[in-house]
Amino acid sequence: DIQMTQSPSSLSASVGDTVTITCRASQDIRRWLVWYQQKPEKAPKALIYSASSLQSGVPSRFSGSGSGTHFTLTISSLQPEDFATYYCQQYDSYPHTFGQGTKLAIK
């Protein structure tokens, strides 16, 4: 299985800040990576797919980059509704493994 490792596991930030979350794959996954946001007691929601494409309806303050084994999710000008847990997932090869998650909390 491809291992997905996110960093940091948690971080705290303030409204208006810009934050970056990193996801590393244990082997080359090209650009087959998606970022999800999950709020407590809710299903995940896709934000960015194919490493850098914005999913329909997602605010443009979310952006993604990377290819191969190194990827980043950047959230600019944090809003109160952005405090949640973020997961990366590779869909290059089965099983489509997730990262362990990054919890973004209000400072």
Q: Is 26 in the site for another protein (CB under 8 A)?
A: no
Phi, psi angle pair for 80, to nearest 5°: -55, -35
Sheet holding 70-75, edge to edge: 4-7, 19-25, 70-75, 62-67
Cβ of residue 92: shortest distance to another protein, in angstroms? Answer: 9
**CA pair distance 43, 30, nearest whole angstrom:** 27
Separate counts of helices (H) and strands (E) for the chain: 0, 10
Could you tell me the smallest distance in angstroms from the CB atom of residue 16 to another protein?
A: 28
Q: Which stretch binds another protein (CB under 8 A): 13-21, 66-74, 75-83, 84-92?
A: 84-92
* Cβ count near 83 (within 10 Å): 17
Told to check if 43 binds another protein by CB under 8 A, we report yes
Query: Is the Cβ of residue 19 or residue 88 nearer to another protein in the bound state?
Result: 88
- Of 19 and 48, CB closest to another protein: 48
**Residues in contact with another protein by the rule CB under 8 A:** 1, 32, 34, 36, 38, 43-46, 49-50, 55, 87, 89, 91, 94-101
